[in-house]
Amino acid sequence: MYIDTDLPYKVADIALAEWGRKEIEIAQHEMPGLMALRAKYGAAKPLEGARITGSLHMTIQTAVLIETLVELGADVRWCSCNIFSTQDHAAAAIAAAGVPVFAWKGESLEEYWWCTAMALSFPCANGKNGADCMCSANETNNANGAGCKGPNLIVDDGGDATLLIHKGRAAEIDASTLDVTTGSHEEKIILDTLRTILKEEPRKWHDTVAELRGVSEETTTGVHRLYQMKERGELLIPAINVNDSVTKSKFDNLYGCRESLADGIKRATDTMIAGKVVVVCGYGDVGKGCARSMKSYGARVIVTEIDPICALQAAMEGFEVMTVEDALPEGNIYVTTTGNRDIITLEHMRLMRDQSIVCNIGHFDNEIQMDRLEAAPDVTKLNIKPQVDKYIFGANANANAGANAGTDTGAGCTGAGCTGEKNSRSIFILAEGRLVNLGCATGHPSFVMSNSFTNQTLAQIELWTKQLPVDVYRLPKELDEEVARLHLANLGVRLTKLTDEQAAYIGVSPDGPYKAEHYRY
């Protein structure tokens, strides 16, 4: 049986729970927005009765979000949205607290999609064949009807849970939708996962959608996916775009990455950033945070952009703006932040300076051509430690792949092509091209995540308490301002109060909202 809802959780090591709990308690002090929501709604329990699936990095900060949702009345199951981003002690603490969590650091892709399916499958309250088990009547192959209930709400980050449900439902209507040929290793695994589920539970995703009230999406890339699905007429459920709350994208993406990018690079490599040339690809919210971070360390920063407005912004901040190709002779560290694909190609990597560090902080790993790098016959991979790999280019790459790879001593060089000459060039790839701040470090600090997750919680309440028609929504500006307001006292911020005359003069209410919808911050 592929989905087994009798399994209470799957984490790396439940014995880490006590450590996780201590860190959760520390994080709570830095997450005033979430704690304020607990104080405000804890008694009323506006999420009572809601089954919520989360597919979002299983970190300490996410643990505080999960426990907020539980305190507001929800029945929660969780998985991570990246194979490397789970903090095992956070997952253990949440599992020990009784929330079914399926996440560990270093999942295989097969395990990752199994975890997603497990998080999307709730046991029936009255047993597997109980009357409340909505799909038991339709169960043909799955004799005990496990995993019959889907969620009512989803907290998604990058859209993987939403994608599984939509693709799964399409396959229940027409199984040949799974017969596509794809060059993507991960896509093949998704198709295999859906085939397995289709055999065991042929109506699972129809039944899931029937009770699904909506999804709140955390990140830029996931939001792009939602709008594309809406455009194509494929979106089946209402969605709230949390990313474009000002208190999310202008804080988490910018200030979060400003701190966590350096954390990831340093934990992975211990390299000195000062004096290096850092190439930041993309100058959106994440790119702005990354470029500022690297500059603050004393690096010379080069930005690449396709958008003239963002390119001009970068230039006005004093960054050089050029193409990746032009930057190759100079760059020491490369960071992709675009949410787009094929930003760093295999050809780029071949031309980089020896010992360059290449990483991605965008949501998916296809910003760097990892599949092509892995498949290149003249490239050898040498693992340094978890989430840090050296790739050696050149004719003698295989022979030089030993401990002394890249040196001209010849020691450890035993292959036929070994001449003892220094003829290979190496680069380092962090977190196999997946988001470096979560793969090599622990993601953003709690305070900034409190802003993001306060928006997430408000979005979940919106979806559960209102029957929204299918569309993609944003939270109202009043709530955005409220999220910010909840974080002021923690920083000792003293806000100026508008007088009635001032409010009338600029045409707003003294209590807000203070800006028009078109204002860009």
80 binds ligand NAD (CB under 6 A): no
Cβ distance to ligand NAD smaller for residue 116 or 336: 336
Residue 456 is a catalytic residue: yes
Catalytic residue among 360, 426, 456, 460: 456
Strands of the sheet with 320-321, listed across from one edge: 320-321, 300-304, 277-281, 333-336, 356-360, 425-430, 388-393, 379-385
Position 249 contacts ligand NAD (CB under 6 A): yes
Provide the minimum distance between the beta carbon of 446 and ligand NAD in the complex, in angstroms, as a whole number: 14
Q: Is 423 in the site for ligand NAD (CB under 6 A)?
A: no
Report how far Cα 335 is from the mean position of its chain's Cα atoms: 16
Closest residue by Cα to residue 80 from 155, 179, 177 = 155
* Rounded CA separation 249/408 (Å): 48
Q: How far apart are CA 293 and CA 288, in angstroms?
A: 8
Kindly state the smallest distance separating residue 171's Cβ from ligand NAD, in Å. 26
Q: Could you tell me the smallest distance in angstroms from the CB atom of residue 435 to ligand NAD? A: 4
Q: Which member of 71, 160, 252, 263 is catalytic?
A: 252
Q: Which of 82, 437, 457, 460 binds ligand NAD (CB under 6 A)?
A: 437
Task: Specify the DSSP element, H or E, that contains 54.
Answer: strand 51-55
Closest CA to 76 of 155, 164, 162: 155
CB of 10 to ligand NAD, least distance (A): 25
Contact pattern from residue 257 through residue 276 relative to ligand NAD, giving x for each residue in contact according to CB under 6 A and a dash for the rest = x-------------------
304 or 332: whose CB is closer to ligand NAD? 304
* C-alpha R_g of the chain: 24
| Cα(147)–Cα(89) distance, integer angstroms | 26
Q: Is residue 282 within the footprint of ligand NAD (CB under 6 A)?
A: yes
Contacts 24+ apart (CB under 8 A), 184-191: 184/371, 185/109, 185/371, 186/109, 189/109, 189/110, 189/113, 190/113, 190/163, 190/164
Task: Please give the Cα distance from 39 to 282 (Å, whole number).
Answer: 40
Give dist(CA 269, CA 389) in Å, integer: 10
| Minimum CB distance to ligand NAD smaller for 18 or for 187 | 187
The question of whether 57 is a catalytic residue gets the answer yes
Residue 431 is which amino acid? Answer: A
State yes or no: residue 435 binds ligand NAD (CB under 6 A). Answer: yes
Region from 10-18, 87-95, 332-340, 344-352 binding ligand NAD, contact rule CB under 6 A: 332-340
Task: Answer yes or no: 518 catalytic.
Answer: no
* Residue, CB closest to ligand NAD: 284
Among the options 248, 276, 348, 487, which is catalytic? 248
Q: How many helices (H) and strands (E) are present in the chain, helices listed first? A: 20, 15
Query: What residue type is assigned to position 387 of the chain?
Result: Q
Catalytic choice (71, 75, 88, 218): 218
Q: Quote the CA–CA distance of 472 and 214 in Å, as a whole number.
A: 10
Does 62 bind ligand NAD (CB under 6 A)? Our answer is no
Q: Is 174 a catalytic residue?
A: no
Pure H helices in 412-499? 436-439, 446-465, 477-486
- Can residue 442 be called a binding residue for ligand NAD (CB under 6 A)? no
**Residue 451 binds ligand NAD (CB under 6 A):** no
Q: Which is nearer to ligand NAD, 88 or 285 (CB)?
A: 285
The answer to the question of residue 245 lying near ligand NAD (CB under 6 A) is no
> Which entry of 28, 55, 61, 80 is annotated as an active-site residue?
80
Tell which positions 352-371 bind ligand NAD, by CB under 6 A.
361-363
Write out the DSSP string of 429-446: EEGGGSBHHHHTS--S-H
Q: Which two tokens stand for residue 238?
A: 């209402």
> Which of 293, 356, 452, 455 is flagged as catalytic?
452
What is the smallest separation between the CB atom of 52 and ligand NAD, expressed in angstroms? 21
β-bridge pairing 239-241 and 472-473: parallel
202-221: contacts with ligand NAD (CB under 6 A): 219-221
218: annotated active-site residue = yes
Q: Which residues does the annotation mark as catalytic?
A: 57, 80, 85, 157, 218, 243, 248, 252-253, 257, 363, 444, 452, 456
Residues that bind ligand NAD (CB under 6 A): 219-221, 249, 252-253, 256-257, 281-287, 304-307, 310, 337-340, 343, 361-363, 435, 437, 444
